[in-house]
């Protein structure tokens, strides 16, 4: 088969994956936790949240940055940067890609929704308590959102294109889509792409709580994230880092790389409606999906699985149901399996798209559809097949992953089973 896609561009394949998530500190344990229906939610352990409206979140468990990063360097990073370097190291090892011999042809495209929120809080606390002369000189490099991408490049030694996306909860999907375009346009032969977020801080929990965005099931945290369920009441804050290695097909072939799947299409749009609420019509996010279908050269009835944005908010999940119906058509939408893996991971904000891209890739690679856990009571406004509570074996050739962000950012990617 040709090294070029239907529209004459270089084909892009996925040759490596890496992740640290609330379900595990690598891809294998994260996937196993997901398909077994486990929740990553529990009482917050990084700090005492007992006086806050929400006491729980989906944190990483036993995450030790020293496993992947030299101690001195790790101390210079905020947690969000530590997590993305860990995920990138895993993806590099998984891919077998040797960076140094061709570093100028290898790039990084790494997103975050917020950046170094803990470093910001630490800096402010020291400023108030001890004055401006005692502020950590690494504070600003720890806070600024681009440093996740910068640290991946510095730690791995990539010297090709380097970009950082900060488009709220759509950021990681945009990072992956833009990385694919780097390869299609000939600017790179391989790109480490993904996203990271470490927002489980006092400011993060207090801020989202004040918006009434978070679920408040403090007595039952593992049941709090329940996408598309009639009793959903808000999202559960999560944290994660996820990276995929995208590679031009012939480049991957030439080194005998294993290929998980092909990244086939990418679409994006803007709502231009509201700072936090989804587009009530669903038309603008649906355009991102149809753009991705067009880019991929597929018809909506070819989609075998959709990994939904599905955050477990009353407005968002109902809106996305309308979006999917608009993009696929009512008849096709009712037949297409959809799940939100945020029931298990919580909402990892700027990292959500990266983690969910990995789950979507594995759904294609393993022919297993991950479930929407905690789906117990159907909502008449959410009437699709949400793969409730149990993973399902299926023939998955084409899969889609949606990410929608505050401010009206919409991004969608299409992944296909690799075929020569």
Indicate which residue of 55, 251, 309, 409 is catalytic: 309
Q: Are 296 and 364 in contact (CB under 8 A)?
A: no
DSSP state of 83: H
Residue bearing tokens 């947690």: 79
Sheet (strand 305-307) strand order: 162-165, 106-112, 190-197, 240-248, 12-20, 261-270, 409-416, 398-405, 305-307, 338-339
Q: What is the largest CA-CA distance in the chain?
A: 65
Region of residue 54 (phi > 0: left; psi between -120 and 50: alpha; otherwise: beta): beta
| Helix, strand, or coil (residue 272) | coil
DSSP-based three-state secondary structure for 17: strand
Question: Among the options 58, 347, 409, 412, which is catalytic?
Answer: 347
Q: Both tokens of residue 232?
A: 């959903």
Catalytic residue among 58, 166, 169, 348: 169
The answer to whether 213 and 54 are in contact (CB under 8 A) is: no
Distance, in Å, from the CA atom of 281 to the CA atom of 322, rounded to the nearest integer, reads 8
Distance separating alpha carbons of residues 219 and 216, to the nearest angstrom: 9
Catalytic residue list contains 251: no
State the alpha helices, DSSP H only, in 265-379.
283-296, 314-328, 330-335, 342-345, 352-366
Mark whether 309 is an active-site residue.
yes
Backbone angle region of 194, left / alpha / beta, with phi > 0 → left and psi within -120 to 50 → alpha: left
- In whole angstroms, give the CA distance from residue 302 to residue 336: 9
Mark whether 347 is an active-site residue.
yes
In 3D space, the residue among 135, 197, 204 whose CA is nearest the CA of residue 356 turns out to be 197
Q: Taking phi first (over 0 means left), then psi (-120 to 50 degrees means alpha), and beta for anything else, what does residue 346 get?
A: left
Q: Which helix (H) or strand (E) holds 196?
A: strand 190-197
Residues noted as catalytic: 169, 309, 347
């Amino acid at each position: 088969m040709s090294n070029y896609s239907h529209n004459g561009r270089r084909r892009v394949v996925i040759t490596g994956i890496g992740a640290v998530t609330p379900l595990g500190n690598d891809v294998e344990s994260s996937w196993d936790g997901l398909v077994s229906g486990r929740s990553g939610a529990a009482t917050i352990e990084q700090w005492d949240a007992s006086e806050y409206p929400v006491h729980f979140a989906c944190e990483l468990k036993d995450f030790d940055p020293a496993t992947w990063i030299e101690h001195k360097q790790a101390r210079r990073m905020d947690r969000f940067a530590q997590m993305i370097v860990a995920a990138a190291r895993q993806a590099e090892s998984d891919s077998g890609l040797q960076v140094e011999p061709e570093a100028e042809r290898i790039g990084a495209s790494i997103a975050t929704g917020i950046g170094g929120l803990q470093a910001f809080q630490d800096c402010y606390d020291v400023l108030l308590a001890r004055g401006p002369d005692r502020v950590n000189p690494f504070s600003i490099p720890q806070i600024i959102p681009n440093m996740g991408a910068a640290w991946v490049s510095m730690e791995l030694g990539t010297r090709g294109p380097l970009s950082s996306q900060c488009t709220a909860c759509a950021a990681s999907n945009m990072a992956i889509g833009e990385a694919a375009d780097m390869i299609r346009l000939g600017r790179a032969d391989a790109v480490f792409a993904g996203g990271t977020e470490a927002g489980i801080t006092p400011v993060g929990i207090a801020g989202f709580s004040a918006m009434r965005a978070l679920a408040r099931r403090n007595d039952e945290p593992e049941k709090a994230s329940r996408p598309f369920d009639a009793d959903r009441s808000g999202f559960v804050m999560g944290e994660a880092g996820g990276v995929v290695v995208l590679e031009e097909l012939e480049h991957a072939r030439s080194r005998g790389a294993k290929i998980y799947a092909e990244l086939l299409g990418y679409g994006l749009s803007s709502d231009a409606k509201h700072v936090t609420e989804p587009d009530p019509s669903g038309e603008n996010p649906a355009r991102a999906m149809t753009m991705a279908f067009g880019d991929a050269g597929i018809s909506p009835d070819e989609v075998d699985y959709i990994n939904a944005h599905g955050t477990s908010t009353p407005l968002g999940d109902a809106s996305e149901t309308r979006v999917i119906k608009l993009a696929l058509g009512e008849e096709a939408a009712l037949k297409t399996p959809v799940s939100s893996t945020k029931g298990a991971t919580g909402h990892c904000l700027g990292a959500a798209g990266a983690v969910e891209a990995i789950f979507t890739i594995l759904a294609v690679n393993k022919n297993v559809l991950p479930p929407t856990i905690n789906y117990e009571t159907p909502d008449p406004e959410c009437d699709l097949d949400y793969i409730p509570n149990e993973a399902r074996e299926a023939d998955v050739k084409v899969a889609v992953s949606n990410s929608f962000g505050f401010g009206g950012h919409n991004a969608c990617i299409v992944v296909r089973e690799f075929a020569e």
